């Protein structure tokens, strides 16, 4: 079918064909009206502007995503159990006749309404990235996965969906969210909403929680002992008790109001983002697996990285460091020490501890020291050839990229 001249019509043994896969081509048209026995049709990632499946009443699985379809009529496909029509230009989708559906994926469309009240067998629904203002899932009690990320929802009642194990409702307009009945939840993403409170005390099965970019002033995760990933950044948290969450591997609590952070019990930590708080101290002595650290934008005067041999990236910019030693960090490739109190001698001493070998390594040194009569003279006066001689690129320009 690759490069075929439209319309691409299935011929030959068409009437007995049960499966057709013509995905990832350049088809602008596809005629399957002569294939009444089709049960599976994969035509995603083409250039189809229309698709007539009204004669394919035996279809159980249809994947037509990533096309420019403006309409899709599946009213005759009552046997459908799986429908994937993501990434089209659908403004409406009627699935009221598809009562056998167990999986529906329709994200990245232009759906203003979606009625799934007749789809009581649904176990998985992904309707993210649409302009949905409401979503009623009260009849979908078998549902285990719900993704309604990036819509315009102001409310979401999931109290009847007690089988849910994964819920993604981030980037909506939810002022409240009650997950007390969803005791099977293992993953919850409610980030980027105007939530002022979140109660997850009943969700003891949670392994992943993302509630970043809300307006939370408190967060109780003492009952969530299975958590391995916690993202609660960009809230209004003044304290964060993680004493019960010793399984944590990834922690992001940046952009809060934390003056202390105790992670000494979290020996499995691989990533830690606690930047943009009010921390004056950070004990990382128990973290041999730590690979990424962002503690920038705090009030640290000292940072001991001697027990973190796996570190790949360290962002400790905008603190009050007068010295830094990375002798014990042989895997280091990115180091951001901008806007600290490092004079020329301190920067030279730091350069002398940089690991050698490899390529593509960068150290950012702009605006050292960052205040006082000698502001910036460390950056200007240091001997960057020391770092360059060890295979590092020295950068003293302003950058907003987190990957440079």
Taking only the tens place, the pLDDT of each residue in 153-196 is 999 999 999 999 999 999 999 999 999 999 999 999 999 999 99
| Nearest C-alpha neighbor of 163 from the set 147, 133, 140 | 140
**Cα separation of 289 and 147, whole Å?**
32
**Cα separation of 196 and 158, whole Å?**
19
Q: Which pair of structure tokens corresponds to residue 112?
A: 């203003």
Q: What is the pLDDT of residue 14?
A: 79
- How far apart, in Å, are the Cα atoms of 160 and each of 100, 140, 176, 305, 396? 20, 8, 16, 48, 55
Q: Mean pLDDT for the chain? A: 95
Q: What is the DSSP string of 281-303?
A: ----TT-TT--EEE--SS--S--
pLDDT, tens digit, 9 for 90 and up, residues 209-268: 999 999 999 999 999 999 999 999 999 999 999 999 999 999 999 999 999 999 999 999
Q: What is the pLDDT of residue 8?
A: 64
pLDDT, tens digit, 9 for 90 and up, residues 1-51: 444 445 566 655 678 999 999 999 999 999 999 999 999 999 999 999 999
Give the DSSP letter of residue 386: H
Whether the CB-CB separation of 230 and 249 falls below 8 Å is answered with: no
**Cα separation of 330 and 360, whole Å?**
14
Residue 374 has pLDDT above 80, yes or no: yes
Give the DSSP letter of residue 2: T
Q: What is the pLDDT of residue 372?
A: 83
Residues 361-367 have a mean pLDDT of 98
Whether the CB-CB separation of 357 and 348 falls below 8 Å is answered with: no
Give the DSSP letter of residue 92: -
Handedness of CA 139, 143, 149, 155 (dihedral sign): positive
Residue 400 has pLDDT above 70, yes or no: no
Q: What is the pLDDT of residue 373?
A: 85
Q: What is the pLDDT of residue 398?
A: 65
Whether the CB-CB separation of 44 and 72 falls below 8 Å is answered with: no
**Exposure b/e, 383-402, CB count within 10 A at least 16 = b:** ebebbeebebebbbeeeeee
Handedness of CA 93, 96, 97, 102 (dihedral sign): positive
Residue 67 CB coordination number (10 Å): 25
pTM of the prediction?
0.94
**Cα separation of 354 and 364, whole Å?**
13
**Cα separation of 62 and 366, whole Å?**
55
362, containing H or E segment: strand 361-364
- How far apart, in Å, are the Cα atoms of 354 and each of 181, 358, 392? 52, 12, 8
Residues 66-79 have a mean pLDDT of 98
Residue 324 has pLDDT above 50, yes or no: yes
**Apex CA 122: angle with CA 121 and CA 126, to 5°?**
170
User: Binning pLDDT at 50, 70 and 90, where does residue 399 land?
Assistant: low
pLDDT, tens digit, 9 for 90 and up, residues 94-119: 999 999 999 999 999 999 999 999 99
Q: Which pair of structure tokens corresponds to residue 212?
A: 């970043």
Helix and strand tally (H, E) in the chain? 3, 20
294, containing H or E segment: strand 292-294
Q: What is the pLDDT of residue 31?
A: 95
**Cα separation of 149 and 128, whole Å?**
4
**Cα separation of 225 and 140, whole Å?**
29
Helix (H, G, I), strand (E, B) or coil at 7: coil
Q: What is the pLDDT of residue 308?
A: 98
Total number of residues shown for the chain: 404
**Burial (CB count within 10 angstroms: exposed 0-12, middle 13-18, buried 19+), residue 181:** middle
Residue 144 has pLDDT above 50, yes or no: yes
Whether the CB-CB separation of 107 and 130 falls below 8 Å is answered with: yes
Residue 273 CB coordination number (10 Å): 19
Helix (H, G, I), strand (E, B) or coil at 166: strand
């Amino acid at each position: 079918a690759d490069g075929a001249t439209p319309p691409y019509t299935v011929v030959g043994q068409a009437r007995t064909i049960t499966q057709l896969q013509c995905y990832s081509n350049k088809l602008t048209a596809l005629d399957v009206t002569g294939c009444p026995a089709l049960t599976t049709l994969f035509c995603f990632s083409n250039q189809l502007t229309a698709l007539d499946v009204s004669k394919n009443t035996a279809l159980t699985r249809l994947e037509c995503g990533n096309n420019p379809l403006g309409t899709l009529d599946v009213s005759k496909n009552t046997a459908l159990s799986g429908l994937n029509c993501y990434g089209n230009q659908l403004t409406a989708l009627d699935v009221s006749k598809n009562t056998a559906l167990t999986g529906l994926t329709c994200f990245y469309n232009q759906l203003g309404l979606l009625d799934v009240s007749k789809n009581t067998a649904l176990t998985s629904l992904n309707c993210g990235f649409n302009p949905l203002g409401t979503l009623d899932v009260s009849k979908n009690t078998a549902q285990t996965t719900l993704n309604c990320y990036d819509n315009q929802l102001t409310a979401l009642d999931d109290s009847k969906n007690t089988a849910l194990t994964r819920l993604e409702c981030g980037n909506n307009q939810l002022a409240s969210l009650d997950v007390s009945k969803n005791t099977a939840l293992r993953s919850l993403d409610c980030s980027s909403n105007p939530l002022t409170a979140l109660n997850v005390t009943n969700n003891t099965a949670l392994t992943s929680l993302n509630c970043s970019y809300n307006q939370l002033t408190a967060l109780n995760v003492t009952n969530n002992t299975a958590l391995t990933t916690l993202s609660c950044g960009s809230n209004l948290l003044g304290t964060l008790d993680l004493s019960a969450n010793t399984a944590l591997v990834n922690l992001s609590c940046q952009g809060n109001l934390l003056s202390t952070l105790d992670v000494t019990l979290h020996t499995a930590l691989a990533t830690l983002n606690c930047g943009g708080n009010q921390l004056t101290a950070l004990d990382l002595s128990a973290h041999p697996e730590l690979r990424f650290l962002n503690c920038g934008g705090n009030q640290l005067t000292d940072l001991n990285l001697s027990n973190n041999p796996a570190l790949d990236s360290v962002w400790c910019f905008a603190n009050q460091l007068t010295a830094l030693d990375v002798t014990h960090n042989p895997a280091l490739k990115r180091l951001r020490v901008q806007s600290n109190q490092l004079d020329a001698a301190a920067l030279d001493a730091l350069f002398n501890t940089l690991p050698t070998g490899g390529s593509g390594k960068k150290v950012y040194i702009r605006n050292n020291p960052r205040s006082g009569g000698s502001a910036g003279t460390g950056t200007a006066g240091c001997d960057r050839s020391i770092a360059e001689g060890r295979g590092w690129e020295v950068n003293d320009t302003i950058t907003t990229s987190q990957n440079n």
